[in-house]
Amino acid sequence: MSITVLVVDDSAFMRQLIKKILETDPEIKVVGVASNGEDALKKVDFYNPQVITLDLEMPQMDGLTCLKRLMMEDPRPVVIISSWAKEGAEETLKALELGAVDFITKPGITSPEDFWELKDEIIQKVKNASLAHPERANVITQKKSSTQIIKVRKAASAHLKTNNPKVVCIGASTGGPRALQYILTHLPADFPLPILIAQHMPEDFIGIFAARLNNLVPIEIKVAEEGDLLVPGRVLIAPSALQTSLVKKGNEVQIKLTKESTIYRPSIDHLFFSVGKVFKGDAISVLLTGMGADGAKGLKELRSLGARTIAEAEETCVIYGMPRVAVEMEAVEYIYPLDRIPGLLCSLVNQGTISS
């Protein structure tokens, strides 16, 4: 069965080009095209597409306005394809916060041949988006989660568990920007531990992402740099195109950046393994929404060392990929919906155990 797609772009040339590219894959069928946000909303009702590709800069109704309406009225996966996505990085991140699943930039496109170079990326991101559930993000804003809160069976190494966590590390991918914003804005200003984050994101966007969060959260947030110290109440976000590790020097723990080549840079697994080497079981680790399996092995290692491990519940995951793999590997101690994770973090920090 084909993945049905609506292509939205104010350029007739781009609409047809994106349509041609997508339909080179036999698993994708473009059911319609739209020239602006207003047109798109009407055609969503008519064609009921599984996925929408959306330009940001359009007349009459721009992409962000269209996206906001769509997510309120009829949520479905949206992939941003816009030349403005790179130049207007803040608008792109706003689109992710509003519920877009992913984005593709098309800067400097001067010919069809240039755009055809993005063919594989466009097709793969549309296919990935077809597996997403953006409506789950609305659970935390429209009503309280109804999902059960699960404490899974104890790890074999439960005797190693500590009541003295010294760091929180969080990994996220697709759907992560919105989830991370929720967690960080619901932590107290005096949260007592350093927080490390690995979020899959292109290099040109990670700094703007950190700056946006820093304006929303009462604790310091910055992109990690070589030699940065882990300080209570500071959030360090792993930079893109590099791997983030930790090194202990005396009583201090510092950031170490390397260019080790793996599928993901930053790699959540790489960060989690490094946290385990330095802090052993004195850590709390969280794996949020995302495609694939990055972070699951690292979470498993942390749990074996006695660290507390948390996975986002399927009910609120935009894509229940990484957490699902971690649960299947028995790497997870707590399975919580997103809206309950900030409270769990505070509970584990303050008591070393979950509040009933």
Q: Residues with Cβ < 8 Å from 308, sequence gap 6 or more?
A: 161, 165, 283, 284, 285, 333, 334, 348
Q: Let me know if 74 is a catalytic residue.
A: no
Q: Exactly one of 82, 83, 130, 173 is catalytic; which is it?
A: 173
Rounded to an integer, what distance in angstroms lies between the CA atom of residue 34 and that of residue 8?
A: 5
29 token code pair:
């069928």
Specify whether the CB–CB gap between 316 and 339 falls below 8 A: yes
Specify whether the CB–CB gap between 316 and 139 falls below 8 A: yes
One-letter amino acid for residue 222 of the chain:
K
Q: Give me the phi and psi of 87, to 5 degrees please.
A: -65, -40
Q: Exactly one of 35, 62, 102, 200 is catalytic; which is it?
A: 200
Q: Exactly one of 10, 55, 228, 294 is catalytic; which is it?
A: 294
DSSP code per residue over 293-341: -TTHHHHHHHHHTT-EEEEE-GGG-SSBSHHHHHHHTT--SEEE-GGGH
Q: Let me know if 133 is a catalytic residue.
A: no
Q: Let me know if 120 is a catalytic residue.
A: no
Specify whether the CB–CB gap between 53 and 34 falls below 8 A: no
Q: Give me the phi and psi of 277, to 5 degrees please.
A: -65, -40
User: Where in the sequence numbering do the catalytic residues fall?
Assistant: 173, 200, 294
